[in-house]
Structures are given as C-alpha cells and as structure tokens.
Amino acid sequence: MTFDELARLLEVEGFEETAAELHGILCGRLAGGERLAGGTLRAALVESLESDEELIDNALPELTRLYQQALAALTDSSFAFSPLLPEDDAGLDARVAALSVWTQGFLDGLVDAGLAGDADLSEDAASALGDLVAIARAGFEGEGDNDDEADFAELVEYVRVAAILIFAELASPADIAAPGSDTLH
C-alpha cells in the first residue's frame, strides 16, 4: 500500500489520523514487540487511534494489509523498511510535516506496545529513541533548495535506520530469524 492509497482510504472513510501517523503507530507497535492479528489488531487500532470503531471496522482489511506490509518490511533481511511518507513531488514542507507526524506516531506506538521510559535499551537504541523525540518536533523554515532536500533525505534515512534498530533490539529472535512465519493467521 502506498502513501497515496492509504491517504485516500483514510480520507474516504473519515479517519482523524493521517497516513503517516497511522503507519508510524503500526510500526511503533511492531517495534515495541507486538504481533497482532484479527481481533487483536482491531483492538490495538481502537486503543491507538482517535477514529471511531466503525471506521476501523470498515477499513480493517486494508489496515491488516498495511500491518502485514510493515511487519514484512521490518523483518526483511535486506532492510527494505521505510517510513510511509509522501512522494518527492509533494512540497518539502509537507514531507517534513509528514515525517514529524510519522515519528510521533512511531513513538506513540512504542508506548502503546508497553515500552516504558525505563526500558533496558542499548546505548545506540536509547540515543536513537531520543533523536526520534526531537525529530517528532521538527518543522521546516527553509527555501526548499537542494541543500534542504539533501538534509531531508538524510533525516528520513536516519529515522528509517533508527526504527529498524529499535525493532531489532526489541523483537524476539524468532521475528528476525524467520520473518513472516506464523506471526499472522
């Protein structure tokens, strides 16, 4: 599912969340160690989202596909994972805002999955988590020139790697050793 497909779905259904926020929440819950299917995925979405349960029920097949896509990307041995963000043809200010919202959603998902402030993380993961908190507050006040584009690309890459690092640290060995195996039924 692409960013635009998810954004259209959420708009048509009337969700309060944005595509970036919803993907971030799902990825954060996954990174926090949750593996959800069927009713547990629905319950997690009801817990994490502001949108009505009826909207979640209407979109559950697509949201399940998005969840499976995120899990497959996070467990991919070639590190194919990337935050779901607008394409490059969107304005830089919109992409920076979406990255900020995705990152906040990721952090919210980690908390919803039970990650507490006193979690026993490696120094690298704890540092990355702190950086994600700062990135969630990011804004854009530039011209949108090549330097700004390069800086944004570096920031997206950092968020991508930080999410993979946190996922790898908190995931069970079975998630990493056998991606996609019996995690969803």
Residue with tokens 């200010």: 93
Render pLDDT for 147-166 as a digit per residue (tens, 0 to 9). 888 999 999 999 999 999 99
| DSSP 8-state class, residue 178 | S
Position 183 pLDDT exceeds 50: no
CATH number belonging to domain 3-177: 1.20.120.740
Report the alpha-carbon distance of residue 185 to residue 181 in Å, rounded: 10
In this predicted structure, what is the pLDDT of residue 113? Answer: 92
Mean pLDDT in residue range 44-69: 94
Report the alpha-carbon distance of residue 101 to residue 124 in Å, rounded: 23
Position 114 pLDDT exceeds 50: yes
pLDDT band at 39 (very low <50, low <70, confident <90, very high): confident
160: left (phi over 0), alpha (psi -120 to 50) or beta: alpha
Q: Where are the alpha helices (DSSP H) in 2-91?
A: 3-13, 19-31, 38-48, 53-75
pLDDT band at 185 (very low <50, low <70, confident <90, very high): very low
Report the alpha-carbon distance of residue 10 to residue 174 in Å, rounded: 33
In this predicted structure, what is the pLDDT of residue 48? Answer: 94
